[in-house]
Every structure is written in C-alpha cells, then in structure tokens.
Structure 1
C-alpha cells in the first residue's frame, strides 16, 4: 500500500502548502494531495508543487465538478500532468448540495447521473480524444491540443453503490473518506472492483483519506477533530456512509494513539484492500512531526 499525505488545509499561505509537499517528499512518502477549498486552486498548487518538488506524486482530493466545465478542467489537469513530468492525479467529485447550490448556484439534482455524464466526457478528453456530447447536465464538444502531456489518473470521490459503480466503469479508482477498514473490505473494494472488471478496466486504485495522529492524548485529538469537523457527519453522503458502518460520527474513523496503535490502524487498511492511504495529519506541531516520522518508517517497511 502506498502512503501519502493530504496537505493540511489549515496551512494558510501558498508557501505553507508547498512546504507541506516538501515535508512529504523528504519523508519519502509516495504522494501529496491537495484539497479544493474556498482558497487556493488545488490543481494549480499541485502543478507548482510537482514542478518544484521532485520525487513525489501530487494530486487533488477533490475538485468539485459542477463549477468547472469538463473541457476546462481537462485542460487544467493535462497542463498539471505535463508540468509535473507525469506525476499528477486528478481527483474529482460532485461536492455537496449546500455548496453547489448555495455558493455556485447549480442544481444538485441527481448527482450520480451528473457524474456519469461528466466522466463520460472528461475521460476521453484526458486521453487526448475529441468529444461531442449533449446530455441532460453536460454539453461538451471539442478536443484539446496538449502534445506530450500524457494522461493523468482520474479518481472519483465515491461512497454509495451507484457512485462506486460509476468510478469502476469510468475512472481509474476512488477516493474515500470517513471510511474504516471493514467498509473498504466489505463495501468499497468489492463494488468498485467488480464494476471495473465488468467494464474491462484494470484493477482500480482505492485511495483512503484518514485523519491520523501519533499522540499521548487521543481523547484530546478526537475532541478537537469533532469540534472542527463533526459537522461533516451531517452531510447526506457522509451520513449514509457512517450509518453503513454503524458509526455515530466522523471521529470514529480517526486513527489516534501511540505509534503501535496508529501503525496497526494503518496496516488494517492495507489488509482490507486499500491501495493507498492519504493521511491528514492533526494535533500539535510535535504530534504531526511524530506522525510524519511514523508514516515515513511504515513506507520504508513497504
């Protein structure tokens, strides 16, 4: 299982984000992913980081599809892939209704249907193919001239059965969050893998994002995560995923404790079939440094 980081979105400045990628590279990790929030553009930062920091893959986790036309997004992704020497992964997803409707003014009606249409267009564009699609939510006609860019991997944020099947059929894998190892083994991996096989596609990447902290005070870390991110458990897609796992809140998916506890929690994801763990470091500066050191040691173990 590959090990990477989700560059801490609490890092406020552009240089801070780039330093986060440098920290991951120095630790010998495989990847550094950037979240798309209401701040810096994740694709641009990934391209800049990949161009400046050698030896580490970069990507987005995730860029919402509704606000960006598929042709425009494909052009950004191909540019980033070329700028990083082929080390860029594009992670996309529909986002959440309060943001898509309340901030961007798009209808969030039938997001799984929208994603199927969107990836039907985006995939060929990333492969250098022309498209002519006029659908219910997506219209795209044209091609992109990006010689030598190559084709970045395309990951879809997917948790429910319909979205997982779309990911298996039309993407190179999935990005999941708030998901424990048992759900990976029993729900995520079988559904997306079967869909990929039925579509004649290679075995998919299964990238798990988890909050991780090496700490002597896990109760404090869980309390802080709950205060900061507990609201995520009320978003419908996340609520459904937590319910499937019998979990009350997102803090129940956090990996926190001493080195042995955290290492055991990470290894469980590998045993469940995850191909990559993207760790979001949390806690004090000292706890984050200890967590990064442990991730580095686990990566060296292979």
Structure 2
C-alpha cells in the first residue's frame, strides 16, 4: 500500500493536550462537541491511558489517542493490557501512539534497559501484536524475539476479545531507523511537531515508504489497516492580536527547546539554522528558556510553526500538509489548549478514523 496522501479531501485533524485529568476531560469534551475526531494525550507527568479512559465517559464520540506513550517504560505485556483496557472502556475508540523517549529518561527515570532502540522497538511492536492476536483469536502465545519473550497466557489472565478488534499501533519517529520501523511494522507514523513539510516530504517519508514496500514484498503483512501519516504541527493562535502575540512568544520558546536537542538537528540543517544549536543547548543547561526563545528568528519561527487567527492557521496547515499527511495534530503553544486552537482544528476537518 502506498504511504502518501492522495485523497482530495483535506487531512483529518486532531488536537494535542497534556496536563492533569480535568484538563484532558475539558479538551476532549469541547473537541467532541465541535465534531473534532481525535484528541491526543502525551505521556508527561500522568499516565495517558488512565486519563483517556476517564475522558471516554465525558466525550462519547471522539477517538482517544496516546501521543505518545513511552514504549520502553513498559514491557509489551503491560502496554498490551493498558491499550486493551482503553479500547474496551472507549468502545473501540483507542489509538495507541508509541515513542521511545531518550536514553537518560529510560535508564535513569524509568529504570528500564536501553540499547539499539530501533531494533528494540520493532521487537516491542511485534510482541505486542502477538499478545493482541492471542487474546483476540484465542491462540497460543509463543512469542520469542531478540529483546522480548512472551510464552505464558492462561485463561484467567486473558481479557475477552474485543468487538472491534485491537487498537491501531502508531509509531513516532525522527531518525531514519525508527521511521523505517514505523513503515515496516506499525499502522502509522507520528511525525514530531518539531518539523516542516519539506523535512517530512524529503527526509522522512521516502524511508518509510521504502520500508513498507520491502515488508509487503516479503509477505510480512503485519496489519491490514491503511497506513496513516500523522504530522504534528506547532501553532500560535488566539482571538485577538494580543493573544496571538503572547502565543507567539511561547511558540518561540518551545521551538528553542526542541532545537536545543541534538536529535532534532536535521530539521535545523534542512532550513539552514544549525549554527544556533550549540548556543541553545548551552542556554538550556542553565535553564535560560526566555533567552533561548529570543534566538528564534522569524524565518525559523514560520518554517516550523504556524501563526495567526484560527482561520488563518487552518488554511496554512492545510496548504502545507494537505498533500503529504493523512492527519495533522495541532499543538497549541498556550499553557492550556485555547478555544482558538480548537476552532482551528475544527476548521481543518476533525473527522475520526477513515
């Protein structure tokens, strides 16, 4: 199957949110009322599966996605139980976005092993699929991989099959190896919001397409779902010029935070801004976030982010990503998701799963 957006309709849109449970509930409820098809919850200071399961009751129609849940903070079995429970609690509206995080967090925050993250992630997803299959189809669990082994499942510990089947597994990727894993074994790619359409089109999607084609040619059809390309987009919006100005300042600081990280230097290189990365990294080590934001000039600001009132943001996002993404997930730069950001998502087109 081709990994490209050829549908003449605009890409579907989602809203990203993080924070305590009441904020997740509020955004999910408001998004549901606006006809937005998906809310995406990152794993930061709370468990996204618990938050989304709670939101399922307050927002009865919207898809509930992790964006992302940290795979390596779990085992495939613990991830499978959480994902299955969310799918059951939501009546089949779960979408599981997975990410690797970085080595210091996995080893020093979560106390879990690290090494060869792309190969480990491939094994993680295949192990999770094997667990899903055992639960849904009632077969024997006998997965042996390079990093994970799951060979015990008794009826007491196997959840009931799901009417709509297991949730899709999307994978976040930045580097070429992880993006290739997404193309090979996942149901979709979650493109990082610190990105541009040029970077996505030229340096991400070709590798994803190649990996998918190789997997299909080998007869390794891990999933029958259409592959989804979900592009994260950083936005600064508001209902008044003052609100947009404040959001733009916050967006500069967020771009600076990402740009200070060596893993994202490829985006800077594509747009000729690698020279600022060492200085941003140095400032980040000293917690100089406001100073970092002031280093983000208008050229980089508008290459990475989209700024304006809700209608302008919606139109620009569609112009940039309409031909390359199946879905766009908007990340509001305001401290909490604003009504303006929700309106921008709704204007793009909030439909859920195709």
Same fold (TM over 0.5): yes
1: CA distance between counterparts of 2:90 and 2:310?
33
Note if 1:151 corresponds to 2:201: no
Note if 1:208 corresponds to 2:236: no
Partner residue, 2:102: 96
Partner residue, 1:142: 152
CA deviation map 1:165-218 (0-9, x unaligned): 111111101111112112222233332233223323554111112222224365
2: CA distance between counterparts of 1:184 and 1:204?
16
Q: CA deviation at 1:93?
A: 1.3
Q: Identify unmatched segments of 5+ residues in structure 2.
A: 1-10, 275-295
2: CA distance between counterparts of 1:292 and 1:246?
32
Partner residue, 2:269: 243
1: CA distance between counterparts of 2:116 and 2:89?
35
Out of 3, 24, 30, the residue aligned to residue 13 of structure 2 is 3
**Larger C-alpha radius of gyration, 1 or 2?**
2
Cα gap change, 1:247/1:106 in structure 2, threshold over 3 Å: closer, same or farther?
farther
Which aligned runs of 4 or more in structure 1 are off by greater than 6 angstroms? none
Which of structures 1 and 2 has the larger relative contact order (alpha carbons within 8 angstroms, sep 6+)? 2
1: CA distance between counterparts of 2:198 and 2:306?
14
Partner residue, 2:283: none
2: CA distance between counterparts of 1:300 and 1:265?
16
1:175/1:206 contact within 8 Å kept: yes
Q: CA deviation at 1:300?
A: 7.2
Q: Aligned residues, how many?
A: 297
1: CA distance between counterparts of 2:94 and 2:351?
25
What is the TM-score normalised by the length of structure 2?
0.75
CA deviation map 1:132-187 (0-9, x unaligned): 34444323323462223221010001122211111111110111111211222223
1:89/1:154 contact within 8 Å kept: yes
**Where do 1:171-250 residues align within 5 Å?**
171-177=186-192, 178-200=194-216, 201=221, 203-215=226-238, 216=241, 220-228=246-254, 230-248=256-274
CA deviation map 1:71-96 (0-9, x unaligned): 11101101111111111001111111
2:307/2:313 contact within 8 Å kept: yes
Cα gap change, 1:195/1:81 in structure 2, threshold over 3 Å: closer, same or farther?
same
Out of 287, 290, 295, the residue aligned to residue 340 of structure 2 is 290
Please give the root-mean-square deviation of Cα atoms over the aligned residues, in Å. 2.7
2: CA distance between counterparts of 1:118 and 1:284?
33
What is the TM-score normalised by the length of structure 1?
0.87
- Secondary structure of the residue that 2:210 maps to in structure 1? helix
145-154 or 61-70, which moves further after superposition? 145-154
- Secondary structure of the residue that 1:3 maps to in structure 2? strand
1:212/1:254 contact within 8 Å kept: yes
